[in-house]
Copies of this chain bind each other. A is one copy, B any other.
Amino acid sequence: MPSATVEDYIKQIYLISDQIGIKEVAMGRVADALGVVPGTATTMVKALAAAGLANYAPRVGVSLTGQGHVLALHVLRRHRLIEQFLVEQLGYDWSEVHEEAEQLEHVISERLLERIDKILGHPTVDPHGDPIPSASGEMSESQLESFLQCPLNKTLRIARIADQNPDFLSYIARSGLNPGASVTITLRDSRAESVQLLARGQQLSMGWGAAAKVLVER
């Protein structure tokens, strides 16, 4: 059985690769995501490669093997189902479940996981709007638009917040931009890299970076 550390590495490699849309992930990014020094990441990734979970090319980066990919989806499934459970059944706020899930995902049994899945009615997204892989490893890949691409002056529904940073999430929550809420983008200024929007009757403005992390659907 893979250790919690191995699972974390595999999960982060998957997430980074997915986020930047490139298969090969640079070691620096891996080290950053795991909060370790680069040398540690190199050592660990070599071990992952030796275990058949990843392909490692020195000075190029790391990518997941088929086996690694399967593991990543399993870990993600655990993480996201737990998040959903904490919100739905334990009264947690959606913006504060990440840390708890981060711990639980490594020790929860398959059996408990499936029981939670059933109780929640087999949800397909977690409280942040992140898709939950099925037990067999499929994931609904809907194409959402971010605040940077979506049309102006239309009422849209927040579908997903693509970030786990507690600070950012609590800002989003306080601004009433939870998944499910309605927004209208009123203005986008590419020179100022700024977006103006209307949510809960309030006028807000966000920078490019933050705006890119909020995904909507019509």
Interface set of A (CB-CB < 8 Å, partner B): 86, 89-92, 99-100, 103-104, 106-109, 111-112, 115-116, 119
Contacts and interface: CB of A to CB of B under 8 A. Distances in A.
Integer count of this chain's copies in the complex:
2
B86 A100 contact: no
Given A107-B106, A107-B107, A119 B90 contact: yes
Q: Is the interface of A mostly helix, strand, loop or mixed?
A: helix
Contacts of A108: 103-104
A103 B115 CA distance: 17
Nearest to A97: B112
Nearest to A115: B90
Nearest to A90: B115
A112 B86 contact: yes
Max count, chain B CB within 10 A of own CB: residue among A90, A99, A109: A90
